[in-house]
Amino acid sequence: MPTFYGTEIASRMMLGTAQYPSPKVLADAFRRSGAGVATVSLRREASGGGNAGQQFWSLIQDLDVAILPNTAGCHSVREAVTTAQMARELFDTRWIKLEVIGHADTLQPDPFGLVEAARILTDEGFQVFPYCTEDLVLCDRLLEAGCEVLMPWGAPIGTGLGLNNIYGLRSLRAHFPDVPLVVDAGLGLPSQAAHAMELGYDAVLLNTAVAKAGDPAAMAEAFAGAVAAGAAGHAADPMPPRDMAAPSTPVLGKAFLE
């Protein structure tokens, strides 16, 4: 199982807590997914007044999983840092999923702001999980800033497009073999999660694909099975692809007719 900042997680699946049709559906989805981490937005927790926020927080605590607050929706370094500081006070954790959005349409991270915010938060004692692209230079700068985990996107948030840049994700895994890597955002189908794990990634994080499914709990269970299968496939050292056919049945000893 993956280890993040010295903490071993019980599952390779991380699940978001937004957009579910009801609290019961959210709880059922987590139960059937076996997810080891729940991401929580400070804005989501505080929405609807104090009583609604407290009810939501009680629900999250009842899930009995690790909590990863995030800075979702932040578009500047200052906003992200302030949100992270508030989240630490509220959730009593040093973990923070850092988002600094640079493009309103694609929700692509701002690479410059992301590195700056990561450095500030690391210096303040945070354990940063940066939502980033698969760019090798950016990821190297994030590691230099003190991050010990990288969370590259598969595709833009909420699109369900899967792994848009397999070459880039594979290269990232090869360049940083000892860094925990989590595919975060863009997964829409269990098969896409399995593919991420087959590439050697340590975990996946998703939200919309489960929360917006016709049956969120069933979809969560499907993703859990796919993640487990993909991880097992990678661990089994799969055969490399070939351009030419190769017979699976040996020809040695085969009968020939004249």
Does residue 247 sit within a domain? no
* Total number of domains constituting the chain: 1
Question: Over the chain, what is the mean pLDDT?
Answer: 91
**Secondary structure of the chain in HEC code, one letter for each residue:** CCEECCEECCCCEEEECCCCCCHHHHHHHHHHHCCCEEEEEHHHHHCCCHHHHHHHHHHHHHCCCEEEEECCCCCCHHHHHHHHHHHHHHHCCCEEEECCECCCCCCCECHHHHHHHHHHHHHCCCEEEEEECCCHHHHHHHHHCCCCCEEECCCCCCCCCCCCCHHHHHHHHHHCCCCCEEEECCCCCHHHHHHHHHCCCCEEEECHHHHCCCCHHHHHHHHHHHHHHHHHHHHCCCCCCCCCCCCCCCCCCCCCCC
Tens-place pLDDT, residues 105-137: 888 999 999 999 999 999 999 999 999 999 999
Does residue 175 sit within a domain? yes
CATH at 213: 3.20.20.70
Does residue 168 sit within a domain? yes
Neighbours of 250 (CB within 10 A): 7
Does residue 251 sit within a domain? no
Range of the domain at 159: 3-236
Question: Is the predicted pLDDT of residue 163 greater than 90, yes or no?
Answer: yes
Does residue 244 sit within a domain? no
Q: What is the pTM of this model?
A: 0.88
For the annotated catalytic residues, the residue numbers are 97
What is residue 97's predicted lDDT score, i.e. its pLDDT? 97
185 is in an annotated binding site: yes
Tens-place pLDDT, residues 221-230: 999 999 999 9
36 is in an annotated binding site: no
158 is in an annotated binding site: yes
3 is in an annotated binding site: no
Of 106-115, 150-159, 247-256, which gets the smallest average pLDDT? 247-256
Tens-place pLDDT, residues 17-64: 999 999 999 999 999 999 999 999 876 555 445 565 677 778 888 888
253 is in an annotated binding site: no
What is residue 53's predicted lDDT score, i.e. its pLDDT? 64
